[in-house]
Amino acid sequence: MIEFRPSGLTEDEEKLRTEVREFVAEEFPSGTYLPELGINAAADPEFSRRLAARGWVGMVVPEEYGGPGRSATERFLVVEELLAAGAPVGAHWVADRQTAPVILSFGSERLKREFLPRIVAGDAFFCLGMSEPDSGSDLASVRTRATRTEGGWLLNGRKVWTSGAQYCHYAMTLCRTSPQEGRKHVGLSQLIVDLTSDGLTVSPIRLLNGQHHFNEVVFTDVFVPDHMVLGEIGSGWHQVTSELAYERSGPDRFLTTFPVLRYFLDFREVSGPEAELRLGALAARYWVLRNMSLSIARSLDQGEVPAVEATLVKDLGTSFEHDVLDLVRDLTGGEQEPDGDLFGRLLAEATVTAPTFTLRGGTNEVLRTVAAKHLLREKRRAL
pLDDT number for residue 241? 83
Give the CATH number, domain containing residue 45. 1.10.540.10
Q: What is the number of domains present in the chain?
A: 3
Neighbours of 38 (CB within 10 A): 32
Please answer whether residues 219 and 333 qualify as being in contact, where contact means their C-beta atoms are separated by less than 8 angstroms. no
Contact (Cβ atoms closer than 8 angstroms) between residue 129 and residue 159 = yes
Domain interval for residue 283: 238-382
One domain, residues 155 and 219: yes
Which of 125, 160, 175 delimits the end of a domain?
A: 125
Helix (H, G, I), strand (E, B) or coil at 216: strand
112 shares a domain with 155: no
Of 125, 157, 186, which residue is a domain's last? 125
The residues, ordered by sequence, that sit 6+ positions from 151 with a Cβ below 8 Å of its Cβ are 225, 226
Do residues 154 and 114 both lie within one domain?
A: no
Residue with the bigger pLDDT between 374 and 133: it is 133
119 and 175 in a single domain? The answer is no
Q: Which domain-ending residue is among 125, 141, 171?
A: 125
Do 103 and 137 lie in one domain? The reply is: no
Nearest to 127 by CA among 88, 188, 57, 174: 174
Q: In the predicted model, is pLDDT for residue 136 greater than 60? A: no
Confidence check: pLDDT of 169 > 70: yes
Which is nearest to 323 in space by CA: 288, 262, 279, 266?
279
Residue 141 — pLDDT band, cuts 50, 70, 90? Answer: confident
Rounding to the nearest 10 degrees, give the CA dihedral for residues 148, 150, 153, 156. Answer: -80
- CATH for 329: 1.20.140.10
Q: Let me know whether 273 and 353 are in one domain.
A: yes
Entry pTM: 0.91
59, 121 contact by CB (below 8 A): no
pLDDT 10s digits, 360-381: 777 788 788 887 887 888 878 8
pLDDT digits (tens, 9 = 90+) for 30-70: 888 999 999 889 999 999 999 999 999 999 999 999 999 99
